[in-house]
């Protein structure tokens, strides 16, 4: 069964450093998403991406965040200058059409 994959599974970084989280969505899917979940809190939407552009973003997704689909398979989330409060689990998701979204296993980001 096709699945969303994410790398790395765990990323530790120093405050102020840049990080890039990588995702490979399901191959025939057209819509891509990033969500995050701070420990003990609910899952929160960050951004959606379709046809090589951002279609929607949340207030969390400020100028420090960016997304890119550098090739036909990868979808990346970049955080330019990490803050302590960026520590969270980051989930990538994809959907075939505007319907059910399937999530990757997540990247646990720890900012020290």
Partner 1 sequence: RKEVEQDPGPFNVPEGATVAFNCTYSNSASQSFFWYRQDCRKEPKLLMSVYSSGNEDGRFTAQLNRASQYISLLIRDSKLSDSATYLCVVNNNQGGKLIFGQGTELSVKP
Task: Give me the residues that bind partner 1 (CB under 8 A), please.
Answer: 31, 33, 35, 41-45, 48, 50, 55-56, 58, 89, 91, 93, 95, 97-106, 108
Closer of 88 and 111 to partner 1 (Cβ): 88
Task: Output the smallest distance, CB 98 to partner 1, in A.
Answer: 3
Please report, for residues 11, 12, 47, 79, the alpha-carbon distance to residue 62 in angstroms, rounded to integers and kept in the order given.
21, 21, 10, 10
Contacts of 11 by beta carbon, 8 Å cutoff, 6+ apart: 19, 21, 107, 108, 109, 110
Task: Output the smallest distance, CB 107 to partner 1, in A.
Answer: 11
Closer of 14 and 39 to partner 1 (Cβ): 39
């Amino acid at each position: 069964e096709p699945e969303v994959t994410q790398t790395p599974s765990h990323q530790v970084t120093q405050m102020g450093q840049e990080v890039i989280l990588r995702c490979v969505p399901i191959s025939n899917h057209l819509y891509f998403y990033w969500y995050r979940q701070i420990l003990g809190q609910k899952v929160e939407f960050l951004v959606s991406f379709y046809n090589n552009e951002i279609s929607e973003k949340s207030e969390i997704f400020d100028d420090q965040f960016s997304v890119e689909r550098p090739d036909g398979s990868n979808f990346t989330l970049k955080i330019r200058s990490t803050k302590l409060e960026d520590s969270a689990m980051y989930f990538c998701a994809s959907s075939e059409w505007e319907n059910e979204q399937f999530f990757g296993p997540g990247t646990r980001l720890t900012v020290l």
